[in-house]
Homo-oligomer: A and B are copies of this chain.
């Protein structure tokens, strides 16, 4: 008994022991395979073959669990970016990384616009903001610039995530945009002429390209600040 305790304290934890990492991992699996609404403490406890209350020993509450899951996904995406890359390229690839992460895990999009100080948000701010110096943006203007870029990403993230939450689970981003376009077409053309015109473009465009075009637009604006 004494020996076992010594062993586990040295970190060779039993495979079946609960830990925050194992809980977050199981949460991500549920979120990815069954969607946001399927993540309940009961479902999570069942998957981990434990009681619902046990989870609270490792995680304060559901918010912390979601923030931890989101941070894990986002951290993975941002560290992929080559550190030596040209700053403008680095920003583009980080933005695209977050975009793709939200495509693969829509719940990430929802969570990002839920807690301003969560680790994932801070990571994104640091990753993108940290390249502005090298881009020649003066210190005083850097906050405005990172705010424009990151809030654009978060705004889009929220919209896609909402679509994924509301539409059937197998709907992809293109089908989602098709749904939006259809709804726009049903509006009164006299009252919504602009939205009607956009509906035509929305149906058959590459939204990843579209997303990058927005980033580039903001980067042009940032260039002028220099």
**Chain A contacts with B in 159-181, Cβ cutoff 8 A:** 159-160, 162-163, 166, 179-180
Residue of B132, B158, B217 touching A148 (CB-CB under 8 A):
B217
The smallest beta-carbon distance between A173 and chain B, in angstroms, is: 12
Of A3-11, A31-39, A46-54, A187-195, the stretch lying at the interface with chain B is: A187-195
Kindly state the separation between the CA atoms of A43 and B19 in the bound complex, as whole angstroms: 39
For residue A117, CB closer than 8 A to chain B, the reply is yes
The interface bits of chain A over 108-144 (1 if a CB of B lies within 8 angstroms of the residue's CB, else 0) are: 0000011111000010011001101100000110111
**Is A213 positioned at the interface, with any CB of B under 8 Å from its CB?**
yes
Q: Given B156, B157, B201, which contacts A143 in the complex, CB threshold below 8 Å?
A: B201
A12 to chain B, nearest CB (A): 29
Inter-subunit contact A217/B144 (CB<8 Å) = yes
Q: Is the CB of B195 within 8 A of A125?
A: yes
A152 at the interface (CB under 8 A from B): yes
A positions within 8 Å CB-CB of B: 113-117, 122, 125-126, 129-130, 132-133, 139-140, 142-148, 150-160, 162-163, 166, 179-180, 183-184, 187, 191-195, 197-198, 201-202, 205, 210, 213-214, 217-222, 224-225
